[in-house]
Amino acid sequence: MEKNRWSKVSLVAVATVLLWLKTYIVYKTSFDIKIENWKQEFILFINPLSFLMFIFGISLFMKERSQRRYILITSFLISAILFANVVFYRFYNDFLTIPVLFQTSNMSDLGSSVNELVNWTDLLNFTDFIILAALVKWKPGFIAYHNYSKLGRRAFFLMAVAIGFFNLGMAETERPQLLTRTFDREILVKNIGTYNYHLYDAFLQSKSSAQRALADGSELADIDNYDKANYKEPDKDMFGIAKGKNVILISLESTQNFVINQTVNGQEITPFLNDFIKESYYFDNFYHQTGQGKTSDSEFLVENSLYPLSRGAVFFTHSGNEYNATPEILGKNGYFTASLHANNKSFWNRDIMYKSLGYERFYSLPDYEVTEENSVGWGMKDIDFFDQSVQHLKEMPKPFYAKFITLTNHFPFELEEQDRFIEPYTSEDKTVNNYFPTVRYTDEAIKLFVQKLKDEGLYEDSIIILYGDHYGISENHNKAMGEYLGKEITPFESAQLQRVPLIVHIPGHTGKTVSTVSGQIDIKPTILHLLGIDTKNDMEFGTDLFNKERMDFTVLRDGSFITKDYVYTRDICYDKATGEQADKDACQPFMEKAKNELEYSDKIIYGDLLRFYQQIGVGNPLDNKSR
């Protein structure tokens, strides 16, 4: 009888194998994980096993009834975590982190996006759990409860540990220094698996929480030396050219540069911006550098000239830090500073973070008359938002620094038919199709806004800066994007699609296209220098875009970087002129700079190091004054 019992399969083994195979199938069908050889495929296949053996193996210490309950609950929770990653990946092309899970105040506003990302076929993600539940309920004869001996349990866990170390060893031979590349979650998931990645993420979270408590001012010395060595004097012709003028900064939601001067269905996508850049400084090699914080990350970059974090959003994780942000600097130089966004003030934790950045006023949802008629998708339509905002501008003390955050061109790119100025694109991808009408709508909104600024006498006394905050079309839509652009979307092309528009309009200046390689991190010193405020004693990584000696270089949050001649992404160096793979040695001179900047910026944020700035003997960055 006992021999017959041990010839049957244990529920632990069934649960482990079902979830193991399900995870591998999800890897192949729901995530775009690049596999280059058989070894990487094998690593991808085995990487969930050690975790699943360990987590289900805990039930070996339980009685039969408790074991069955534990296995069911654990299987469901792990499946839910995997499914959450699937949904998150569909739009963000990224994996969840613990800081993202803490962004609960955003969840109430995510309704339309989540509805677009989830469909009934997702029930298949829980097929293994349904099978497992059926086996527990009906107890078929081929499954039996095994009462393992102490030696048997020890052997089981030793096998789990051995598989784990075998997996890690293979991963390290394929990708040396794997666990130091925390900014590249695809590499981590590919090599150690989704579940082990989440455990590692938990370790990183506890580590980052401890960094502030253990930090001291001595860590700033090397960063300050690097910063001073890379500082460029402002261009003499442009420094102070807009001194005393108002600053109107407009964040263009999800607007990528490929729409500029292009058409869809024979019609211009951005007719107003196409004309506006002819009388403005237009930066056509300008990249977004955001991470998981998306729009809030772009705000953080623009205001601080620091990089966002690779995990979560700084607006949530480090809103209590000391910063030397543009609003605070301008406030000390006589400016009234405000942000205008017709959304809940707590979204992205803005109500807290804006205080740390030095904003004097936040015009949020209660400051606007929002109705069903003037709302779509995520909130108030851009035309109505700008129209109502002009009254706020008129009432502000002068000069003012006012940042506008648009909404209409937000995934899932909803727009009522009567608001369309162009028809959707015609591919099999609904997201890509609907993207063009919402971009066109925002373009029209800006056109009407600029005209109203002229009508109200605000135009001539203001510089207007427009920038794209992050990508709108993720890599999950490469097929339709390739169809529209007429070329295959390779990793090189994908990196190029991270370009977003930057337009700097100074009344009275003639238009000029500037092709210097640049990013959102460069906006802060550019604005301050235009207003005649020196940044020599600021701790920042950006460079004035009008400086003729600036390096053609920008680094993205995932570690990719772009120079005048090369694009480095996914561990491959590309010739920028041809898009073909180049010798990796050509990118080598820039790798250290890219790594240093991301690491230095992370240290500043995790350690809240700017609170020690006065202690390292370089002066107080908050004491900047106009020349």
Catalogue the active-site residues. 295
Contact 229, 85 (CB under 8 A): no
Sign (positive or negative) of CA dihedral 185, 188, 194, 197:
negative
**Would you list the DSSP string of 50-113?**
HHHHHHHHGGGGS-HHHHHHHHHHHHHHHHHHHHHHHHHHHHHSS---HHHHT-GGGGGG-HHH
Contacts of 508 (CB under 8 A, 6+ apart): none
Residues 270 and 615: their CA atoms lie apart, in Å, by 49
Residues 539 and 603: their CA atoms lie apart, in Å, by 12
> Which of 228, 55, 81 is CA-nearest to residue 616?
228
3-state secondary structure at position 156: helix
Report the b/e string of 586-605 with b at 16+ CB within 10 A: ebeebeebbebbbebbbbbb
**Would you list the DSSP string of 270-316?**
SHHHHHHGGGSEEETTEE----TTHHHHHHHHHHHS----SSS-HHH
Residue 612 CA: distances (Å) to CA of 78, 143, 544, 620: 42, 63, 25, 10
Contact 324, 300 (CB under 8 A): no
| DSSP strands (E only) in 496-607 | 502-505, 512-514, 518-519, 553-555, 561-563, 566-569, 572-575
Contact 188, 182 (CB under 8 A): yes
Contacts of 516 (CB under 8 A, 6+ apart): 283, 285, 545, 550, 552
Token pair, residue 36, equals 């280059």
Contact 127, 22 (CB under 8 A): yes
3-state secondary structure at position 394: helix
Residues 589 and 552: their CA atoms lie apart, in Å, by 13
Rg (CA), the chain: 27
Residues 194 and 144: their CA atoms lie apart, in Å, by 30
- Number of Cβ within 10 Å of residue 158's Cβ equals 10
Q: How many Cα atoms sit within 13 Å of 348 on the Cβ side?
A: 19
